[in-house]
């Protein structure tokens, strides 16, 4: 029993070490709080959801530097295929989202929410939309050309998650006037976060098992 608890603790630690997992957890908790607000009309839940969003923005400070590194690596590849180009669009879109969100976040803290910084907030939403559009294209590309049929279920789950993200990003940027009501926006966000967290926990469990096997060999 103690070994199981130890393994669970190790998986939890590995998950929390990942910035992406921390972001997904906060994203899910914020979405859950918004759904709770829809049911109970308790404004403190909405304030809590806004606070999780602010924490996520704080965590993204300078996170776009990793996107620059990925772009540099992609541009220096000797051969680039269609998948590489789609992935480049995703990385660039994600980088624009993070950088513009940094400016908008710092602007809110220093100069409050002026129209100038609101424009950066909109640019970040557009960057996120293009990143998720490319993510959907990547998921479809992998389903079409990946011959590892054993991973089909995981690929379709990933496609569903990417589609949820795309719909919320499109609504956030009001692309072609697309809108989602508050409940649907929060529900899709929660679904995406849940699927991302489940995948992250599975990956962390694999890492924990490998570490355990390595310790046993030593």
Query: Which residues, in sequence order, are CB contacts of 186 under 8 Å at separation 6+?
Result: 31, 34, 35, 38
Q: Is the pTM of this model over 0.75?
A: yes
Q: Cα–Cα distance between 27 and 175 in angstroms, integer?
A: 22
Give the residue-averaged pLDDT of 141-151. Answer: 77
On whether the CB atoms of residues 131 and 97 are closer than 8 A, the answer is yes
How far is CA 97 from its chain centroid?
11
Residues 159-207 have pLDDT tens digits of 999 999 999 999 999 999 999 999 999 999 999 999 999 999 999 998 8
Q: Cα–Cα distance between 89 and 7 in angstroms, integer?
A: 38
Phi, psi (rounded to 5 degrees) for 194: -60, -45
What is the CA angle 88-22-94, rounded to 5? 20
């Amino acid at each position: 029993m103690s070994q199981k608890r130890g393994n669970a603790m190790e998986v939890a630690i590995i998950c929390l070490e990942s910035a992406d997992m921390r972001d997904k957890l906060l994203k899910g908790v914020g979405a859950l709080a918004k759904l709770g607000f829809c049911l109970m009309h308790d404004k403190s839940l909405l304030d809590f959801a806004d606070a999780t969003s602010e924490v996520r923005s704080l965590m993204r400070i300078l996170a776009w530097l990793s996107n620059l590194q990925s772009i540099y690596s992609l541009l220096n590849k000797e051969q680039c295929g269609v998948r590489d180009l789609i992935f480049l669009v995703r990385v660039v879109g994600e980088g624009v989202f993070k950088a513009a969100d940094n400016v908008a976040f710092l602007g809110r803290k220093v100069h409050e929410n002026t129209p100038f910084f609101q424009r950066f907030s909109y640019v970040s939403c557009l960057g996120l939309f293009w990143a998720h559009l490319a993510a959907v294209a990547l998921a479809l590309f992998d389903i079409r050309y990946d011959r590892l049929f054993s991973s089909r279920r995981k690929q379709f789950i990933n496609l569903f998650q990417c589609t949820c993200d795309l719909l919320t990003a499109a609504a956030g940027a009001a692309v072609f006037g697309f809108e989602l009501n508050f409940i649907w926006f929060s529900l899709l966000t929660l679904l995406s976060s849940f699927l991302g967290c489940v995948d992250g926990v599975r990956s962390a469990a694999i890492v924990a098992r490998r570490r355990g096997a390595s310790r046993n060999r030593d």
